Amino acid sequence: MSLKYGNVVEELYKLVWPTPLKLFTAGPVACFPEVLEVMKFQMFSHRSKEYRELHKDTVERLAKFAEVREGTVLLFPSSGTGVMEASVRNFITPNGSVLVTVIGEFGSRYREVVESNGRKPIVLEKGAGEPVLPEDLDEALTKHPEVEAVTITYNETSTGVLNPLKELAQVAKKHGKLVFVDAVSAMGAADIKFDEWGLDVVFTSSQKAFGVPPGLAIGIFSKEALKKAESIPNRGWYFDVLKYVHYQEKEWSTPSTPPIPQIIGINAMLRVVDLMGGKHAWLNMYLERAEMVRSGVKNLGLELFARKGYESPTITAVKAPQGIDGYEIYSRMKARGYELAAGYGKFKKTSFRIGHMGYMPKEYIEEMLQNLKEVLNELRR
């Protein structure tokens, strides 16, 4: 298709990509070439037969990936935080309490969402770099039997820590609680077995491990959670989960206009997963990447935030060397063409982060580590 106003494209490209960058961000991440190609398709109606087929196929592929047989997978036109709010509005009684586990900034966000929606957060917080352990959760639930649910940040992006989700879910279920999982920076790189692990709400976003642009959220809901939603008043409209269930069962669509290009993009990536050899091969790719980054960072004499054995497969949080500003490391790397992720929240000055999600050939990682070595040498002089 010829472009009548091609200069508009050139102007925008210069605006958003003034210099070439290799992305090692926390998200959005670099998209896979297949995603960029299929998202160029011309649009079509979200009430059409073609869309219904796309929606159904995408939901079925996501269910296979997250090992969902009894639960329901839904697509939302939002970021993952939208479904985080939906988990509170739809499944917690007004004025009810929730045990919120916090190991970083995104656990704190869940606490804010619980509170802003008129529910009471009971906080279980661990120090920077530490996961929530099963015994921590067991003790907290014993002290607070009144809570209706437990929230777990599967992968804490601010500190690069992966919580032991399977074991934590077992503890929560032993106490008879719903399990809400923020899997925004985990799903697609860390394993999820929705039914087997007894999860009730899991949500993620398109712009992380699946390497698709932002705008699509994915929520997975258990039968128990959906049944409870029927008794919850004032669920809202835009994020009324039962409304999404109704539209999906009725016509394989959504109540409002879905982000069709992103749905096409994630469908493409789920097909790529199959062509790579399936979920196991895909997750191994992420584990190998993460190990490559962590080993490279340690070889430079740097220390990780995460406790050993609980390191994230999607992002590595690194402590800045004594006397060196973590944000300065980030800035100098960007000037060299490698956009890392700056330290988040209160760790902005004392850390920097290296994302390893999305499109990232091995040679990109090798180049990035070499440039990081040179930047550190400059700053240590």
Residue 236 CB coordination number (10 Å): 13
Q: For position 1, what pLDDT does the model report?
A: 66
For the four alpha carbons of 9, 14, 15 and 19, in that order, the dihedral sign comes to positive
> Looking at the structure, do residues 181 and 66 belong to the same domain, yes or no?
yes
- Residue 177's domain comprises 34-273
Which among 273, 293, 326 is the end of a domain?
Answer: 273
Q: For position 90, what pLDDT does the model report?
A: 98
> Looking at the structure, do residues 222 and 309 belong to the same domain, yes or no?
no
Q: Mean pLDDT of all residues in the chain? A: 97
> Looking at the structure, do residues 245 and 351 belong to the same domain, yes or no?
no
Q: Which two tokens stand for residue 293?
A: 């980054």
Residue 63's domain is classified under what CATH number?
3.40.640.10
* Mean per-residue pLDDT, 326-335: 97
Q: For position 98, what pLDDT does the model report?
A: 98
> Looking at the structure, do residues 174 and 70 belong to the same domain, yes or no?
yes
- CA-based nearest residue to 161, from 305, 294, 24: 305
Q: Which residues contact 321 (CB under 8 A, 6 or more apart)?
A: 301, 302, 376, 379, 380
Report percent pLDDT > 90 for the chain.
Answer: 97
Residue written as token pair 């290799």: 22
Residue 297 lies in a domain: yes
pLDDT one-digit tens code per residue, 63-98: 999 999 999 999 999 999 999 999 999 999 999 999
> Looking at the structure, do residues 197 and 134 belong to the same domain, yes or no?
yes
Q: For position 347, what pLDDT does the model report?
A: 85
Residue 329 lies in a domain: yes
- CA-based nearest residue to 306, from 361, 261, 249, 351: 351
Residue 327 scores a pLDDT above 80? yes
At 346, the pLDDT band (50, 70, 90 cuts) reads: confident
Q: What is the DSSP letter of 200?
A: S
Residue 351 scores a pLDDT above 90? yes
Q: How far apart are CA 106 and CA 151, in angstroms?
A: 11
pLDDT one-digit tens code per residue, 186-240: 999 999 999 999 999 999 999 999 999 999 999 999 999 999 999 999 999 999 9
Q: How far apart are CA 305 and CA 345, in angstroms?
A: 14
Which among 273, 304, 330 is the end of a domain?
Answer: 273
Residue 260 scores a pLDDT above 80? yes
pLDDT one-digit tens code per residue, 102-154: 999 999 999 999 999 999 999 999 998 999 999 999 999 999 999 999 999 99
- Structural domain count, the chain: 2
Q: What is the DSSP letter of 4?
A: T
Residue 1 lies in a domain: no
Residue 310's domain is classified under what CATH number?
3.90.1150.10
